């Protein structure tokens, strides 16, 4: 049994297996949440923000491997265990290469599932946390609180200054965009990836103006607290966080 209840997300299209896994997790002391399809799974995972995900490979709408890629881009440290009927070495290696923490092959026992979940959670406790804050030029973004905070102006009255620090609220989507860029600070994030991960939209044939307009609005919000330079455009490729930004976990 776990010492406190953690949420485990099950993404599985087979109803009997999905309900069975949820029952096993509940018996093991976890809070089970589930999603029955591949499409929409990434958004559901990011919204619920579980301690661990049990992710089937063969799903309607979107494969587990594609979901794994998207979730890894947005939540690099989120523990993910692949659950599938595919037992070949190539399939196991592919999942692990894409960032899965473990691999359970159907059919499996309740004891095995719980043992693997517990082992992965123990290992993941030693990892650095996901991105929680971004700082640049004295200003900052608090992703947990969904707000951007202006740099404090020098003043003789420090107590008065602390009461008048300028803050601006960020929407869920603005926060999600910044979290994805911060989690991938060393590379350019393409518009298509933003559509898949933040909007949960298949980018094939989709109009990417939604991303561009969101970035425009995000920059306007950030500009109000002096963070104009935080998000950079890379022509014809996508967006990235400024190299001068400091990302905290």
b (16+ CB within 10 A) / e for 178-214: bbbbbbbbeeebbbbbbbbbbbbbebeeeeeebbeeb
- What is each CA distance from 178 to 66, 100, 108, 171, 182, in whole angstroms? 21, 24, 39, 11, 6
Tell me the pLDDT tens digit for each residue of 44-78.
998 898 999 999 999 999 999 999 998 988 888 88
d(CA 125, CA 82): 19
Q: Sign of torsion, CA 98 103 21 18? A: positive
State whether 38 and 107 are in the same domain: yes
Does residue 180 have a pLDDT over 60? Answer: yes
State whether 38 and 71 are in the same domain: yes
Q: What share of the chain is helix, strand, coil (3-state, %, to 5)?
A: 40, 20, 40
Under DSSP, the state recorded for 152 is: P
Structural domain span for residue 205:
133-248
State whether 25 and 116 are in the same domain: yes
Query: Which residues are paired to 232 by β-bridges?
Result: 240
- What is each CA distance from 93 to 72, 100, 135, in whole angstroms? 16, 9, 37
3-state secondary structure of 232: strand
Tell me the pLDDT tens digit for each residue of 75-85.
888 899 998 88
Q: Which of 73, 107, 124 delimits the end of a domain?
A: 124
Identify the band that residue 87 occupies on the pLDDT scale cut at 50, 70 and 90. Answer: low
State whether 151 and 51 are in the same domain: no
Report phi then psi at 147, rounded to 5: -150, 150
In a domain, 2, yes or no: no
Q: How many domains does the chain have?
A: 2
Q: Which of 65, 96, 124 delimits the end of a domain?
A: 124
pTM of this structure: 0.61
Under DSSP, the state recorded for 228 is: T
Which pair of tokens denotes residue 109? Answer: 């026992």
């Amino acid at each position: 049994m776990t010492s406190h209840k953690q949420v485990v997300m099950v993404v599985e299209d087979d109803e009997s297996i999905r309900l069975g896994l949820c029952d096993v997790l509940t018996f093991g002391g976890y809070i089970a949440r589930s999603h029955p399809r591949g499409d929409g799974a990434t958004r559901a995972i990011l919204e619920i923000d579980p301690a661990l995900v049990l992710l089937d490979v063969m799903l309607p709408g979107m494969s587990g491997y594609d979901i794994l890629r998207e979730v890894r881009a947005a939540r690099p440290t989120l523990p993910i265990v692949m659950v599938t009927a595919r037992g070949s070495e190539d399939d196991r290696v592919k999942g692990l290469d894409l960032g899965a923490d473990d691999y359970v092959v159907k059919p499996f026992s309740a004891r095995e599932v719980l043992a693997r979940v517990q082992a992965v959670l123990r290992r993941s406790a030693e990892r650095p946390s996901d991105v929680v804050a971004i700082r640049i030029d004295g200003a900052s973004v608090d992703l947990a609180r969904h707000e951007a905070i202006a740099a404090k102006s020098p003043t003789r009255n420090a107590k008065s200054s602390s009461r008048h620090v300028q803050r601006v609220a960020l929407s869920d989507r603005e926060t999600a965009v910044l979290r994805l860029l911060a989690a991938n600070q060393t590379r350019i994030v393409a518009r298509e990836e933003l559509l898949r991960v933040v909007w949960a939209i298949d980018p094939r044939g989709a109009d990417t103006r939604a991303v561009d307009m969101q970035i425009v609005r995000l920059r306007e919000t950030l500009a109000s607290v002096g963070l104009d330079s935080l998000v950079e455009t890379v022509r014809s490729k996508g967006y990235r966080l400024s190299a001068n930004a400091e990302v905290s976990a």
